[in-house]
């Protein structure tokens, strides 16, 4: 009998095979899926995303719990960071706002965001558009840069350099005695003493002769040094007096912007500028140490630029003062002696003119950059410029005071010594006393003499002025003076940097953080 197989048994073979294949497939998928999951979990991308998410949560939780003032501080910091401003100024403001939110934010609002300051800035920009004359085409980049800012180049001006304040003062008195039309004086400091008494009597005498005499002093520089009665006495004698940004109980941005210029103009024929204020120390009277200062006399067409600088500043606080400025311009000419460009720097515009001129001279120097300055508180751009010039073989030498008139500025300034010296910059200290001169001289053919220190206040916050000299005989005189000063200096080496006490070094380092606000 034929045997038939069980249909169930007959069909179990293929079904069981399919089942085994399905189980193997599922197992394979599970293995592949677990591998993918492990790769995803342990991938750097996911780890980074999770860490980023954790960081966001960490940031959001404190923000959620912040007080209103802390949120205001955060907004203020974002506002400051995104402003078009020097990074060092941003850092100097961010630190106090982060540590003391209420105080920092309120101080920033009071000092930086005031309608009155905006009005003065707008008026200053309008006055700066008053043209002098076209001058001549400048032969180098600095001349062309300054021409775009309305500071012409002159080739009809004689320049005389003064290596000491007392020598300059003698010539100032002699020239003021010759005034017949007008006499303008602008000074950061005016202080009671021998020098001021001579100037005061001369101004009263010239006013009595019918000369138009104007005197402008800074409200902070002369504070406590010149009693108000002296200006009242001059006013009664016919001298027009004005105080730039007098101090008021209410703080404002304008209190931080001082008129640091020193200008004397006689009949539009001769003009003086430099570091010399009207106080006895500038002519070495009654001082325990020597006071070294510098300045220049201009005779010729370039005096017009000094005249306009004075009148523009005067007109900032005199609504009608800007109407007749051009009538004070003269057309005196002197024998050609190179090129002269008097220029101003102001916190009321967007140009850091003084810094740009100094940087250009540093970057284009081929043989040497010799600098005299009373203070050394610089931003990273100037520091890197000096160091790079030294690295490429340029002799970069600075003379600073051994005895300073500002202990804090001196302490902060010495914190820059190490980085500069290590990169080849030579630093000297003037041992007889206070080095107050402000001069740059480069490669025997270019120099700047004026009022501009190498510190934040001069470069960013003050009204300043200088004279750029190109291929003028006075450039040689500036360099000769520098070499004479070197004989009275001590060169600072790496071994000299740490001789100051630890507390003083700490004060210097902390002060450097807030240097833009000093």
Any domain includes 86: yes
More confidently predicted of 489 and 25: 489
- Residue-level pLDDT at 283: 97
Any domain includes 508: no
- Residue-level pLDDT at 259: 95
Q: How confident is the model at residue 5 (pLDDT cuts 50, 70, 90)?
A: very low
User: Looking at the 3D structure of the chain, how many domains does it have?
Assistant: 2
Check whether residue 268 and residue 160 sit in a common domain.
Answer: yes
**Does position 52 have pLDDT exceeding 80, yes or no?**
no
**How far, in Å, CA of 295 to CA of 159, rounded?**
10
Tens of pLDDT, residue by residue over 122-170, are 767 667 666 666 678 888 999 999 999 999 999 999 999 999 999 999 9
Tens of pLDDT, residue by residue over 54-71, are 766 666 666 555 556 677
Any domain includes 369: yes
**How far, in Å, CA of 244 to CA of 348, rounded?**
14
Check whether residue 65 and residue 122 sit in a common domain.
Answer: no
Check whether residue 165 and residue 77 sit in a common domain.
Answer: no
Q: How confident is the model at residue 47 (pLDDT cuts 50, 70, 90)?
A: low
- List beta partners, residue 136: 153
Q: What is the mean pLDDT of residues 483-494?
A: 96
> Which residues, 6+ apart, have CB-to-CB distance to 287 below 8 Å?
280, 281, 433
- Residue-level pLDDT at 473: 96
How many beta carbons lie within 10 A of that of residue 192, not counting itself? 16
**How far, in Å, CA of 173 to CA of 457, rounded?**
30
Helix 194-208 vs helix 165-177: angle between axes, to the nearest 10 degrees? 10
Question: What percentage of the chain carries pLDDT values higher than 90?
Answer: 59
**Does position 277 have pLDDT exceeding 60, yes or no?**
yes
Domain span at residue 74?
52-113
Q: Which of 65, 95, 113 is the last residue of a domain?
A: 113
Check whether residue 82 and residue 162 sit in a common domain.
Answer: no
How many beta carbons lie within 10 A of that of residue 515, not counting itself? 24
For residue 183, the domain's CATH number is 3.30.870.10
Q: Which of 82, 113, 144 is the last residue of a domain?
A: 113
Tens of pLDDT, residue by residue over 175-226, are 999 999 999 999 999 999 999 999 999 999 999 999 999 999 999 999 889 9
Any domain includes 314: yes
Any domain includes 423: no
List the one residue out of 467, 463, 420, 416 whose CA is nearest residue 439: 467
**Does position 4 have pLDDT exceeding 50, yes or no?**
no
**How far, in Å, CA of 215 to CA of 379, rounded?**
34
Check whether residue 83 and residue 152 sit in a common domain.
Answer: no
H or E element at residue 215: strand 212-218
List the one residue out of 179, 186, 230 whose CA is nearest residue 206: 179
Check whether residue 203 and residue 144 sit in a common domain.
Answer: yes
C-alpha angle 216-190-320 in degrees, rounded to nearest 5: 5
Q: How confident is the model at residue 290 (pLDDT cuts 50, 70, 90)?
A: very high
Which residue matches tokens 């071994």? 495
C-alpha angle 61-62-68 in degrees, rounded to nearest 5: 120
Q: What is the mean pLDDT of residues 45-51?
A: 66
Check whether residue 105 and residue 165 sit in a common domain.
Answer: no
Check whether residue 311 and residue 457 sit in a common domain.
Answer: yes
Check whether residue 264 and residue 353 sit in a common domain.
Answer: yes
Check whether residue 129 and residue 209 sit in a common domain.
Answer: yes
- Residue-level pLDDT at 87: 78
Residue by residue, DSSP assigns 4-20 as ---HHHHHHHHHHHHHH
- Residue-level pLDDT at 92: 78
**How far, in Å, CA of 516 to CA of 494, rounded?**
26
Q: What is the mean pLDDT of residues 424-443?
A: 98
Q: How confident is the model at residue 326 (pLDDT cuts 50, 70, 90)?
A: confident
- Are 357 and 464 within 8 A, CB to CB? no
Any domain includes 309: yes
Check whether residue 108 and residue 221 sit in a common domain.
Answer: no
Check whether residue 158 and residue 105 sit in a common domain.
Answer: no
Q: What is the mean pLDDT of residues 81-103?
A: 79
More confidently predicted of 257 and 217: 217
C-alpha angle 70-73-77 in degrees, rounded to nearest 5: 145
**Does position 452 have pLDDT exceeding 90, yes or no?**
yes
Structure tokens at 123: 């008026």
- What's the number of CA atoms in the CB half-sphere (13 Å) around residue 296? 32
Any domain includes 142: yes
- Measure the CA dihedral 367/373/379/380, to 10°: 30
Any domain includes 85: yes
């Amino acid at each position: 009998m034929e045997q038939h197989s069980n249909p169930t048994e007959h069909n179990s073979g293929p079904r069981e095979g399919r089942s085994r294949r399905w189980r193997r497939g599922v197992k394979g998928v599970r293995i592949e899926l677990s591998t993918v999951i492990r790769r995803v979990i342990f991938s750097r991308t996911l780890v980074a995303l999770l860490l980023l998410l954790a960081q966001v949560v960490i940031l959001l939780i404190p923000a959620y719990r912040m007080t209103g003032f802390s949120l205001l501080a955060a907004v203020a910091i974002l506002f400051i960071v995104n402003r078009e401003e020097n990074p060092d100024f941003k850092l100097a403001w961010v630190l106090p706002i982060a540590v003391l939110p209420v105080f920092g934010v309120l101080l920033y609002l009071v000092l930086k965001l005031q309608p009155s300051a905006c009005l003065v800035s707008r008026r200053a920009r309008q006055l700066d558009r008053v043209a002098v004359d076209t001058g001549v085409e400048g032969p180098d980049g600095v001349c062309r840069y300054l021409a775009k800012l309305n500071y012409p180049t002159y080739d009809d001006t004689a320049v005389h350099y003064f290596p000491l304040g007392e020598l300059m003062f003698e010539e100032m008195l002699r020239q003021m005695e010759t005034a017949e039309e007008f006499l303008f004086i602008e000074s950061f400091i005016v202080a009671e003493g021998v020098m001021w008494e001579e100037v005061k009597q001369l101004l009263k005498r010239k006013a009595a002769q019918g000369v138009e005499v104007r005197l402008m002093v800074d409200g902070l520089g002369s504070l406590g040094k010149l009693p108000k009665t002296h200006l009242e006495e001059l006013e009664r004698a016919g001298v027009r007096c004005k105080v730039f940004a007098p101090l008021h109980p209410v703080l404002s941005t304008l209190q931080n912007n001082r008129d640091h210029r020193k200008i004397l103009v006689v009949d539009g024929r001769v003009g003086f500028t430099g570091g010399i204020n009207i106080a006895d120390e500038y002519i070495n009277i009654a001082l325990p140490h020597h006071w070294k200062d510098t300045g220049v006399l201009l005779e010729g067409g370039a005096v017009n630029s000094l005249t306009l600088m004075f009148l523009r500043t005067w007109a900032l606080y005199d609504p009608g003062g800007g109407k007749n400025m051009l009538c004070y311009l003269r057309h005196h000419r002197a024998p050609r002696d190179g090129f002269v460009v008097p220029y101003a720097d102001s916190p009321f515009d967007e140009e850091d003119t003084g810094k740009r001129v100094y940087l250009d001279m540093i970057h284009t120097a081929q043989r040497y950059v010799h600098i005299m300055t009373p203070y050394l508180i610089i931003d990273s751009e100037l520091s890197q410029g000096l160091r790079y010039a030294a690295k490429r073989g340029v002799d970069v030498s600075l003379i600073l005071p051994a005895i300073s008139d500002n202990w804090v500025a001196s302490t902060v300034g010495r914190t820059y010594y190490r980085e500069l010296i290590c990169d080849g910059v030579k630093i000297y200290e003037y041992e007889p006393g206070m080095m107050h001169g402000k001069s740059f001289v480069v490669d025997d053919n270019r120099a700047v003499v004026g009022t501009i220190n190498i510190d934040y206040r001069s470069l960013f916050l003050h009204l300043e002025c200088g004279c750029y000299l190109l291929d003028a005989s006075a450039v040689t005189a500036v360099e000769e003076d520098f070499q004479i000063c070197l004989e009275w200096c001590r060169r600072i080496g790496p071994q000299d940097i740490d001789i100051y006490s630890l507390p003083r070094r700490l004060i210097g380092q902390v002060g450097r953080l807030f240097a833009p606000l000093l």
